[in-house]
């Protein structure tokens, strides 16, 4: 069977795990064998049509269920899972009706019971599921591939390779959270730009231009910022032209969104720049 896998997930719940799983499956089956809504939808496409086409084509659907999957609400406080237009629910419901193979993966979340789910999703709680607890994602994904080989005729698993571990507890900041936090971070503004080489992916970033009295001061700032950057293991995208240093911050593990890591690094860079200017 030619594999085509549809990853079903909620951005605010399991986006980092979804991206890590996408990388794993791309390496395993090829880029054209996996669909995840953000990277695969191109400019000019109708979002709904792209998802519908991919879901009809899929022979395997993988819902990723994290600790917030059941309880996330809309702006009015209503649970998303109860809404008739919730895309996550509709994708799973369609897969159930179409008798597609569904392999839920729980990520640091309790197994669902039938009573917790809308009626049209009840069978989801009865399906054999995979569980990721406190890391160990690569092992589970390899078990999934082994099951796909035996039950669905997919290609055999790859040799054991160490893949980056997903930071499953890291979440993108909401607009209101970001707005509130930026009040205490002088000069930083949110921007967006396409990812070079994958222009269909739009990254959200924090941006600031640091200006210094000389080229030497600009380089000194960059050098003195390095220890704090390495300590955080979170690296900026930056550019130095004469006495200016332009810096963009974004978190790769959550689909190039802005997270607490970026705010922490922005504060460090502000402090470093002040120290260099005052010296």
Classify residue 144 by its DSSP letter.
Answer: H
- Return the pLDDT at 40: 46
- Return the pLDDT at 38: 67
Q: What is the pLDDT of residues 187-230, one digit of tens each?
A: 999 998 887 766 656 789 999 999 999 999 999 999 999 999 99
- CB-neighbour burial class of residue 268 (10 A; exposed 0-12, middle 13-18, buried 19+): middle
Letter string b/e over residues 154-189, b meaning 16 or more CB atoms within 10 A of that residue's CB: beebeeeeeeeebbbebbbbeeeebeebbeebeebe
CA 269, CA 263: separation in Å to the nearest integer? Answer: 10
**91 and 8 Cβ atoms separated by less than 8 Å:** yes
Find residue 208's DSSP bridge partners: 247
Work out the number of other CB atoms within 10 angstroms of the CB of residue 89.
Answer: 20
Classify residue 136 by its DSSP letter.
Answer: -
pTM over 0.75: no
Domains, the chain, in order of start with CATH, read 5-152 (3.40.50.10140), 175-278 (3.30.1360.20)
Q: What is the pLDDT of residues 119-130, one digit of tens each?
A: 999 999 999 899
Does pLDDT of 101 surpass 80? yes
CA atoms within 13 A on the CB side of 96: 17
CA distances to 59, 172, 205, 276 from 47, rounded to whole Å, are 20, 21, 23, 47
Q: Please give the distance of CA 7 from its chain centroid, rounded to a whole number.
A: 12
DSSP string, 233-261: T---EEEEETTEEEEEE-BGGGTSB--HH
CA 276, CA 186: separation in Å to the nearest integer? Answer: 16
Residue with the bigger pLDDT between 161 and 222: it is 222
């Amino acid at each position: 069977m030619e594999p085509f896998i549809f990853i079903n997930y909620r951005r605010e719940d399991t986006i980092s795990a979804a991206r890590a799983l996408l990388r794993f499956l791309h390496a395993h089956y090829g880029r054209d064998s996996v669909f995840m809504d953000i990277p695969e939808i191109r400019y000019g496409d109708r979002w709904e049509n792209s998802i519908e086409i991919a879901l009809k084509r899929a022979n395997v659907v993988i819902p990723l269920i994290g600790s917030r999957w059941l309880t996330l609400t809309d702006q009015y406080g209503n649970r998303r899972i109860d809404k008739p237009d919730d895309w996550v629910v509709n994708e799973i419901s369609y897969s159930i009706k179409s008798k597609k193979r569904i392999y839920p993966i729980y990520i640091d979340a309790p197994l669902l019971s039938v009573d917790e789910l809308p009626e049209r999703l009840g069978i989801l709680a009865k399906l054999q599921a995979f569980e990721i607890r406190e890391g160990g994602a690569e092992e589970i994904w390899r078990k999934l591939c082994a099951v796909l080989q035996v039950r669905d005729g997919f290609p055999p698993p790859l040799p054991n390779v160490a893949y980056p571990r997903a930071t499953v507890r890291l979440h993108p900041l909401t607009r209101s959270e970001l707005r509130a936090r930026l009040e205490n971070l002088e000069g930083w503004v949110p921007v967006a730009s396409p990812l070079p080489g994958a222009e269909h992916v739009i990254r959200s970033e924090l941006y600031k231009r640091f200006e210094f009295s000389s080229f030497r001061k600009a380089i000194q700032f960059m050098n003195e910022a390095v220890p704090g950057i390495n300590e955080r293991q979170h690296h900026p995208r930056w550019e130095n032209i004469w006495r200016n240093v332009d810096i963009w911050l974004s978190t790769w593990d959550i689909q190039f969104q802005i997270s607490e890591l970026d705010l922490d690094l922005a504060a460090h860079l502000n402090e470093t720049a002040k120290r260099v200017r005052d010296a």
